[in-house]
Amino acid sequence: MNSRERCQAVLNHQDFDRYPLFDILTNDAAIEYYSGKKLTVENGKQVVHAALDNMVDATRWIIMYPQKEEKIIAEDGTIIEQKRWTAWYHRRFTLSLDDVEKNVRQDIEYFSNPENIQKDADSLDTRIEDLVKTRQEFKNIFLFGNYLIKTGLQLYTGIGLELFSYFITDYPEIFDLYMRKGTEFKVRVINRAKRISDFSAIFDCEDIASKNGPLFSPSIMKKYFYPHLEQIIDAYHKKGIKFIFHTDGNVMPILDDLVATGIDGLNPLEVIAGMNLKEVRERHKDLIMIGGIDCSQLLVYGTTDEVKKATRQAMLDAGPWYFPGSSSELHNSIPLDNIRAMVFY
């Protein structure tokens, strides 16, 4: 089997020859080792792709490339500290509840305009066309789509949990309308996009938990999250697309409700936060599981033998519908030997 056949077999609950390795690669040493080339900002795309092709069976778009380290000041005063593999945003202004209300009402107005449905569908098709071109640059790797059509609960990441909590308490009718209109709009965009079935499986991401458990109360999740996520997943399923849900943190307390929305898979399975691979598999026999090899402690500080043992155990616990991989990404703090140990287990 080649990588694409292997990944598709696991996604479709069919026989496969070995577990397909999935990961996101931002480790200079591993990239240079698996590509056989020196990594620079200028050749980043070519070298990163070569390394992924030689190392993993699958990854997801958007793929990370090294970038020039610099400080950028945006027009609104935001200071962007651009690092080699990431960027930090420092905003100079503080939003008020009135600001949030104004912005949310503008979003509702946008969602209510039928002309914007085609506009966003065309934009999505353009992104997918770019993704198709990226996929063609690989020899054999399986590339998951990553369209980033969220339910709307992710509003909290832009304004902070405290202000978000005040807003949904003081303006419940507005937030409810925002969520309903947003979901209706996004479902229509999915329905209208012409190229959305070019990928058989996609990731979408909303961080709804920390290492201490879910960020929101059961009532908030039941009212504002599960029903909206279910509608979006259903739209993908009608297009024949499997839906992999990505969230950091420990979602064990809400696992059954989350799976009930129709998700086909779960990632990244942060075991150090409390995600128990064996229990997840026992509770949900058909769930596709992706990740589960701790990249905050084990891969950074563990021995190669410990990494191999943990990888093999993860396969026993999470198999058979399982993509072994890090619990987030293979970053620069992980020694190359430990990455090789996980890859060759």
Percent of the chain at pLDDT above 70?
99
Q: What pLDDT is attached to residue 93?
A: 56
Q: What pLDDT is attached to residue 345?
A: 80
Q: What pLDDT is attached to residue 203?
A: 95
Q: Label residue 139 by pLDDT band (50, 70, 90).
A: very high
Beta carbons within 8 Å of 126's beta carbon, 6+ residues apart: none
Task: Indicate the CATH number of 20-65+94-344 among 3.20.20.210, 3.40.50.2300, 3.40.50.920, 3.40.1640.10.
Answer: 3.20.20.210
The token pair at 220 is 């908030």
State CA 152 to chain mean position distance: 15
Q: What pLDDT is attached to residue 246?
A: 96
The whole-model pTM stands at 0.95
AA letter at 130: D
Q: What are phi and psi of 80, to 5 degrees?
A: -110, 115
Domain boundaries, the chain: 20-65+94-344
Q: Label residue 92 by pLDDT band (50, 70, 90).
A: low
Is residue 92 within 8 A of residue 78, CB to CB? The reply is yes
Q: Distances in Å between the alpha carbon of 191 and those of 26, 183, 238, 336?
A: 34, 12, 9, 44
The token pair at 199 is 């990928």
More confident residue, 74 or 240: 240
Q: Label residue 78 by pLDDT band (50, 70, 90).
A: confident
